[in-house]
Amino acid sequence: MAGGGTEHVGTRFRELDRWSTGDVLEALWAGQSRAVAAVLAALPALGAAIDAAAARLGATGRLIYVGAGSSAVLGALDGLELTPTFNWPASRVVVVLAGIADLHDGFDGAVEDDGAAGSAKIAAASCGPDDVVIGISASGTSAFTVGALAASRARGALTLGIAGNPGSPLLAAVEHPIVIATGEEVIAGSTRLAAGTAQKCVLNLFSTGLMVRLGYVYGNLMINVRVENAKLRRRALDMLRGIAGCSEAEAAATLAECGDDLKQAVLVLHGMSSAAAAAALARAGGNLRQALE
């Protein structure tokens, strides 16, 4: 891991602009590699956060992502991918961004320093005890994000913080601090680089691990996938054939009978009627493995 914090100006890259393109790329690649490696130390804390979030969300709780700048974009990306990948309800994802209404307009950087604005946005989102709030800040000093997390915690929500500097205000404000100590950047202070890569990695691990715990994955298959294009229909049919051991024709007919509900189709191919399959899934909270057992 690189030394220093995310804003530290290192000495190794002082002449970077005079290096060959190949050497610049190798330095950037090495920074990215160290960033991913830094995530390993955060896995125990991340696991505890996933288990706590799975227990908290219930049937109505929301995932609320909070951030400013590059961290905000990464949080938004993670949240927006949950619906097409796992069919997580879009109404249960909220993205709270500092100083932006439209991506074409860019960010108003000054809002990052406004803790009251973060608190106000959490109030506007009607954050409550069933919600899980994920705050992301490379330095851990974004007043907007810290203010949003403090307000979320006061409202009873479960709070997670992802930051690169141990002891930062963001990590002190949450119940589940996730430290990814990526250290100094090749381009000093450009935390969209190594810190951003580590943040993306942690968000991938968190949301995917959470979906596994919540039963949105069966084995290692995205059993909740929303069948909305040719590629995903092909994937759904392949999963159905693999799980139920049926023919292509049987898979296609049963999936159509069940309105493209892959989990229901699995149960029908195991001998249930579509109505009984729907009832079994409802009793199991949508968890296919529990319904099969």
Tokens at 104, concatenated: 């074409």
Tokens at 96, concatenated: 């709270």
Among this protein's residues, is 81 annotated catalytic?
yes
CB atoms within 10 A of CB 58: 10
Catalytic-labelled residue, pool 81, 175, 257, 293: 81
Tokens at 77, concatenated: 């990306």
Secondary structure (DSSP) of 247-276: -HHHHHHHHHHTTT-HHHHHHHHTT--HHH
Cβ partners under 8 Å of residue 6, min gap 6: 138, 139, 164, 165, 182, 183, 184, 185, 189, 191, 195
Residue with tokens 């596994």: 212
Residue with tokens 């100094």: 184
Catalytic-labelled residue, pool 15, 26, 112, 293: 112
How many angstroms separate the Cα of 91 from the Cα of each of 56, 118, 151, 237, 273?
17, 20, 21, 27, 30
Among this protein's residues, is 7 annotated catalytic?
no
Element (H or E) spanning 4, and its range? none
Strand intervals (E) in 93-235:
93-97, 132-136, 158-163, 176-179
Catalytic site positions: 81, 112
